[in-house]
Amino acid sequence: MQTGSDERADALGLPFREWLAHVPGTVYVQQGSGIATTVYISPSVEELVGRPASTFTGLDDIWATLVHPEDQERLRLADLRADLDGSFHCEYRLLVADGTYRWMRDEAHRQPDGQMWIGMLVDIEDQKRTEEELRAAVRRFQTLVEQVPTVIYIEALGDGVSPTYVSPRYESMFGFTAEERMADPALWERLLHPEDRDRVLAEIAALRPDAEGWAFEYRMRHRDGHVVWVKDEAVVVRDEDGTRLFYQGVLSDVTESRRAKEELERALDELRRADEMKNTFLTAVSHDLRTPLATILGNAITLENADELDLSEDERRQMLRSLAAKARRLTDLITDLLDMDRLTRGAFEPRFAPEELAGLVERVSREADLIGDRPVDLDLVPVVAMVDRSMVERVVDNLLVNASKHTPRDAAIRVRLRPVGAGAEIVVEDDGAGVPPELRDTLFRPFERGPSANPQSPGVGLGLSLVARFAELHGGRAWVEDGPGGGAAFHVLLAPSEPLS
């Protein structure tokens, strides 16, 4: 005995029935317009939803009762479109006998007579589950991309910089949104730091067409103008066949690491310089202590045996003067070292008092221990200022000794004194070779000795550095320039903050 479905299938013809046995889905036939009546549905519907074919045939509203409530509106709109174009397409969830819902794809087409529809239901539950898993994976990946503290980008193959994706982190790094970057292919080049632009563009131009990626470091300008150091790394992404698809890259903000690197390099430079200064100091001190000590010891031994050596009175006096001179130089050397140590530790406090500077400069110039005992020309204008007397004495003495060390014995030395505001300017000039411009700043650093220094003259290169530090303690500065008639002119400005009342 045939069922109603079998009878209708027979009515449709044997070829159609044979075709149904091989269709990977559930075929149905509906008649009528508007709300059509299902006149046939293949027996496979029972495997699909756990309901026999008779559940669906001959009833007009069975579909509406089985479709998930959230999908009813989508189904209604699909029906309306089908009435207009004769083609029905919709995906919805259908109630299964066990009370759960399964996703179906429903497609049907109106036949030429205008009254019959032939359609097919396909189970797409696994597909939907896969799609949802893919969407979840995409959401996780998108969250990761948006949260990592770098800019992720995808760039098309070919010439130029043409990104097809830029992560939202672009805005926090450069002040422009990802959408602005995507809409403006020239934005990246405009943001390149002017000092890096030519280098970076040249490196990009040098990439081979088949390059597997790149790794650059360069500076970019944020929208507000501040500089951002970035590390730009990218690799080629290929498909399973090895075909090149696109570049995928990362822009990392390395500003802090670059700053730390630069600070480390500066610190290393300072350490190297300190080490060089230490070596220079030890060499100079060992030499400049041994040389006068050797003279002192030799003269002392000679004087100790004066009776046996039958020394004349003039020879005795000359040796005694040499002993005194060398002892003074050792005292000056030790004083310089102690003063530099106290200045470095901030333990040197000036003692300001009113001082008549012309007389002070004249006395120090007369008593200075100059090489060759050469005379000093003085041009002194009377000045009274609040100064530390001992510091000013050291300034004048160190400048005079420096001039005598770096000039021939017959070169003239001149000292000028002029009032400047509530203070004064002291200038010591000579007729020597002068100071090259590239050495004028370094001369005032500790342990620096000019190239024209007399190798027979003791000193560790502290004299001019003390001059500069003493000038600073008086609110002024020290510098060197060319003298009026050649040679060098060392200037010291004393600018005390409190004028005499």
Find the CATH number of the domain harbouring 212. Answer: 3.30.450.20
The structural domain count of the chain equals 4
Question: From CA 452, how far away is CA 437, in angstroms rounded?
Answer: 14
Separation of alpha carbons 326 and 6, rounded Å: 133
- Intra-chain end-to-end CA distance of the chain, in Å: 135
pLDDT tens-place string over residues 461-484: 677 888 888 898 899 999 999 888
pLDDT bracket for residue 456 (50, 70, 90):
very low
Say which residue, 497 or 151, is predicted with more confidence: 151
Eight-state DSSP code of residue 67: B
**What single string gives the DSSP state of each residue in 192-233?**
B-HHHHHHHHHHHHTS-TT--EEEEEEEEE-TTS-EEEEEEE
60/500 Cα distance (integer angstroms): 115
**Which sign, positive or negative, has the C-alpha torsion 285, 290, 292, 293?**
positive
Those residues with Cβ within 8 angstroms of residue 292's Cβ, 6 or more apart along the chain or in another chain: 326, 327, 329, 330, 458
285-297, pLDDT tens digit by residue? 665 666 677 777 7
Nearest to 231 by CA among 213, 217, 250: 217
Hey, what amino acid is at 471? A
Cα–Cα dist 202/198, whole Å: 6
> Residue 233: its pLDDT value, please?
93
Integer Cα distance of 488 and 304 in angstroms: 44
For residue 221, the cross-strand partners are: 227
Partnered with residue 481 across adjacent β-strands are 489
330 lies in the same domain as 358 = no
What contacts 248, CB < 8 A, 6 or more positions away?
Answer: 152, 153, 154, 155, 234, 235, 237
Decide which of 72 and 460 is more confident: 72
Q: Is the pLDDT of residue 304 over 50?
A: yes
329 and 393 in a single domain? The answer is no
Instruction: Note whether residue 232 is domain-resident.
Output: yes
Could you tell me which residue, 319 or 226, shows the higher pLDDT? 226
Instruction: Name the CA dihedral angle for 197, 199, 200, 204, rounded to a multiple of 10 degrees.
Output: 130
pLDDT mean across residues, the chain: 82
Half-sphere exposure of 42 (CA within 13 A, CB side): 21
The neighbour count for residue 116, using CB atoms within 10 Å, is: 16
Picking from 368, 365, 452, the residue whose alpha carbon sits closest to that of residue 417 is 365
- Residue 322 belongs to a domain with what CATH number? 1.10.287.130
Mean pLDDT, residues 353-359 taken together: 92
- 211 and 268 both lie in a single domain: no
Does residue 408 have a pLDDT over 90? no
- Does residue 446 fall inside a structural domain? yes
142 located within any domain = no
Claim to verify: residue 200 and residue 304 sit in the same structural domain = no
For residue 135, being part of any structural domain is answered with no
Q: Determine the structural domain holding residue 273 and report its residue range.
A: 264-348
pLDDT class for 134, splitting at 50, 70, 90? confident
Domain co-membership, 181 together with 314: no
Per-residue confidence (pLDDT) for residue 12, from 0 to 100: 53
What CATH number does residue 477 fall under? 3.30.565.10
231, 253, 275: which is the final residue of a domain?
Answer: 253
Confidence (pLDDT) at 9:
45
pLDDT computed for residue 281 by the predictor: 60
In a domain, residue 454? The reply is: yes
Report the candidate in 152, 162, 36, 48 with the shortest Cα–Cα distance to residue 102: 48
Give backbone dihedrals phi and psi of 359, rounded to 5 degrees, phi first: -65, -40
CA distance 213 to 238: 12
Dig out the tokens for 264 from the structure.
């480390």
pLDDT tens digits, residue range 5-64?
444 445 455 556 666 656 678 998 888 766 678 888 888 888 888 988 888 887 666 777
Query: 302 in a domain, yes or no?
Result: yes
Is 209 a domain residue?
A: yes
Residue percentage of the chain with pLDDT more than 90: 30
Residues 248 and 175 in one domain: yes
Residue 134 covered by a domain = no
374-390: per-residue pLDDT in tens? Answer: 788 899 999 999 998 88
DSSP β-bridge partners for residue 237? 246
Question: Are both 353 and 338 inside the same structural domain?
Answer: no
Handedness of CA 299, 301, 307, 310 (dihedral sign): negative
pLDDT of residue 8: 47
Based on the domain organization, do 299 and 375 belong to the same domain? no
> Which of residues 88 and 307 earns the better pLDDT score?
88
Domain boundary among 74, 91, 124: 124
| Contact by Cβ (8 Å): 59, 37 | yes
323, 348, 373 - which closes a domain? 348
| C-beta atoms surrounding 396 within 10 Å | 25
pLDDT confidence band for 368 (50 / 70 / 90) = confident
Nearest to 28 by CA among 38, 46, 41, 17: 41
| Whether residue 321 sits in one domain with residue 382 | no
Per-residue pLDDT averaged across 258-276, rounded?
84
Q: Give the integer Cα–Cα distance in Å for 469 and 4.
A: 115
Q: Quick count: other Cβ atoms within 10 Å of Cβ 412?
A: 16
pLDDT tens digits for 219-266?
A: 999 999 999 999 999 999 998 888 888 888 999 999 998 898 888 888
**What string of DSSP letters covers 445-499?**
STT---TT--TTS---S-HHHHHHHHHHHTT-EEEEEE-BTBSEEEEEEE--SS-
Tokens at residue 203, please?
A: 């490196």
Q: What is the pTM of this model?
A: 0.43
Domain co-membership, 355 together with 501: yes
CA–CA–CA angle 79, 121, 66 (5° rounding): 65
Note the pLDDT of residue 321: 76
Q: Which residues contact 498 (CB under 8 A, 6 or more apart)?
A: 352, 386, 422
Res. 425: pLDDT tops 90:
yes
CA–CA distance, 331 with 428 (Å, rounded to integer): 23
List helix spans (H) across 305-353: 306-309, 313-344
Tell me, what's the pLDDT at 394? 86
Co-location of 154 and 44 in the same domain: no
* Co-location of 201 and 294 in the same domain: no
